[in-house]
Amino acid sequence: MDESSNLLNEFGEFGVTPSPKVLEKCLELLQKYGVTSETFVNCWLGFSTTKLDGEGPSLETLIMFDKDVLSKENFAKTKIKSEPLRTRPFNFSDHSHEMLCEVVAKYPVGDVTIDWIRSNEQWEPKIQLHGTPESKLTSKYNYMFSRLRDKYDVLEEQITNMSTLLATKLQIDGFESNSKLNSDTYHTVGRICCDATSGSRLNTASLLLEGSLHTSSGKSVSLDVSHLKEFSFFPGQVVAVEGSNPTGRKIAVKAITTPPIVPVFKTDVSLQGPLNVIVACGPFTPSDDLEFAPLVELIQQINSIRPHMAIIMGPFVDVRNKKIETGELDLTYQEQFDMVLKELQTKILNSIQVCIVPSWRDVHHRTVYPTPPFQQENKLSHFHFLSDPCILNVDGVFIALTSTDILFHLSKEEIAAAPPGSDRLGRLVSHLFSQQSFYPLFPPAEEMSIDLEHADDFSKLPFTPHLLLVPSDLRHFIKNVQGCVVVNTERAVKGVSGGTYARLQITGESSSVQIKAEIVRI
């Protein structure tokens, strides 16, 4: 398949069809920077989402894209070249060269100077898992064996639980049926769905509201949102609708209400000084080799600044790696992972608490979401193996994290009418808080396998954390959303190029928490 076809396929994933002239310009930029079609489109999507409210490319915006993004990415300079794994052993000492450590984003914005020297060498933060114990997730279970009735019960319960919150927010006693014949304004509640007869993706013509069994006998009704100045919808979103239904088949929507966002917990923060954290998300090797040179550089960075915590998220053995796709391996998937993990455990200083989070893209692990933690028999005391997603309580500071790219998945499915210059990325994040879920999208992205019953236990985000880590293929950012500092580290490797990771410093006392952060290029 030629590059133009690859580009069209990648853009087509997001419902974008560039004109021949725009495609020609894209190919020119592709050749200029030596990037893959996938990397190009992912970079474009991040730029477009941030600056252009998700618009498709034009000749004018591609010039901006080249100037603001591509020319600054250093694709050629950061391309990693290394011998294939089969010709020499995996040897970390081969890569002791100095690295360029460029800061590409700061929070708060401005000239923030962060002192990375550990002020209290003896203090070790206490890391606890918040929420449902993982015993149910870690035990062997036959995932994807759920009965349809059980799945329906989970989805029904979601609407029921949100209905209670929405009724309280609206100060009403309850909701009426969505299909009730009523020319007067009334309130109903349900889940946003897509009418497949009006297109495969959600649009204003295909909007449906699926009611609960209790309120609406499980019926779905069309929504007319033509009178709304602003809205934001995605499949799976539970909302309250105010409007009239003169025919019984379509609600003329007057107002949409989303569930209330539970504020940040007021906790007793007991940090004994600034808490330094490094966060990185895989893959940790270029897409065309299994040498893991960028992981070596990351370990060097971790050891050089000696943070209290290092949160390292998968994929570690990425199902999308070209060598794994073609089966060009000298080792089994598990042996490949064991080798990577051994290097992490032997090379990272034992004064650093290391949190290892899996990804559903880890080819050696269970390809299901929520993803259970890696099982380790001889676990080192300073290594913590966590599930994806999870919430950590670190001496009173709540850190929520997931290795699954929910922002990217939501950005492909959300439809919105918003004023120019509005913060689309912030809006995508606020959906997680409003729906109280790490993965509120339903049905999920095609590549995802979600076990709904386990997701009901382990994928809830019942309150706003102090810090939310959501690594994504979308362009890196650090921003405050609803009182929570949200960090998209992007990935440690993008295609065949070095990527980025995050450094954070958290301070706090009593119930107050402050966070400073940097995104750094590998």
User: 320 and 212, same structural domain?
Assistant: no
When mean pLDDT is compared over 92-101, 127-136, 258-267, the highest value belongs to: 258-267
Cα 364 from chain centroid (whole Å): 21
pLDDT for the residue numbered 84: 38
Q: What is the CATH number of the domain that holds 475?
A: 3.60.21.60
Instruction: Give a yes or no: residue 344 inside a domain.
Output: yes
Q: Same domain for 301 and 447?
A: yes
Q: Kindly write down the DSSP assignment for every residue of 327-364, as one continuous string.
A: T--SS-HHHHHHHHHHHHHHHS-TTSEEEEE--TTBTT
> Which of 88-97, 130-139, 357-366, 480-489 has the lowest average pLDDT?
88-97
Q: Is the pLDDT of residue 506 over 70?
A: yes
Which residues have CB under 8 Å from 158's CB, separation 6+? 191, 238, 456
310 with 188, same domain: the answer is: no
User: Both 121 and 253 in a single domain?
Assistant: no
Is pLDDT above 70 for 78? no
User: How many whole angstroms separate alpha carbon 65 and alpha carbon 45?
Assistant: 10
Q: What is the mean pLDDT of residues 336-359?
A: 96
Give the domain CATH number at 58: 1.10.8
Q: Encode pLDDT of 440-449 as tens digits.
A: 999 999 999 9
Identify whether residues 253 and 267 lie together within a single domain.
Answer: no
Please check whether residues 426 and 371 belong to one and the same domain.
yes
- Percent of all residues in the chain with a pLDDT value above 70, rounded to a whole number: 91
In this structure, is residue 89 part of a structural domain? no
pLDDT-wise least confident of 197-206, 298-307, 391-400, 428-437: 197-206
Q: Which residues contact 54 (CB under 8 A, 6 or more apart)?
A: 48, 411, 424
Residue partners of 164: CB distance under 8 A and separation at least 6: none
- Pairing verdict, β 250-257 and 220-224: parallel
CATH of residue 204: 2.40.50.430
Do residues 190 and 49 share a domain? no
Higher pLDDT, 376 or 325: 325
Is residue 220 included in any domain, yes or no? yes
**pLDDT at position 128, please?**
94
| Residue 189 and residue 242 share a domain | yes
Residue 475 and residue 451 share a domain: yes
Rounded average pLDDT over 155-181: 95
Does 41 have pLDDT greater than 70?
yes
What's the pLDDT band for 53 if we cut at 50, 70, 90?
Answer: low
Note the pLDDT of residue 120: 73
Q: Mean pLDDT score of the chain, rounded to an integer? A: 88
Q: Is the per-residue pLDDT at 480 higher than 90?
A: yes
Lowest mean pLDDT among 52-56, 96-100, 223-227, 332-336: 96-100
192 within a domain of the structure (yes/no) = yes
Q: What is the pLDDT of residue 89?
A: 43
Element (H, E) at 253: strand 250-257
Q: Does a structural domain hold residue 347? A: yes
The confidence score (pLDDT) of residue 83 equals: 37
pLDDT at residue 225 greater than cutoff 60? yes
Say whether pLDDT at 335 is over 70: yes
End position of a domain, from candidates 189, 224, 257:
257
Q: What is the pLDDT of residue 88?
A: 37
Question: Quick one: average pLDDT of 134-160?
Answer: 84
Same domain for 478 and 379: yes
CA distance 372 to 457: 12
Answer yes or no: do 217 and 129 share one domain. Answer: no
For 378-394, write each residue's pLDDT tens digit: 789 999 999 999 999 99
Range of the domain at 273: 112-141+263-521
Residue 106 in any domain: the answer is: no
Is 235 found in the same domain as 372? no
Domain boundary among 46, 75, 104: 75
- Choose between 372 and 2: higher pLDDT: 372
Question: Which of the listed residues 60, 75, 90 is the one where a domain comes to its end?
Answer: 75
Number of domains the chain contains: 3
Query: Which of 29-33, 396-400, 486-490 has the least mean pLDDT?
Result: 29-33
Answer whether residue 94 is part of any domain.
no
pLDDT of 99 strictly over 50:
no
Residue 81 lies in a domain: no
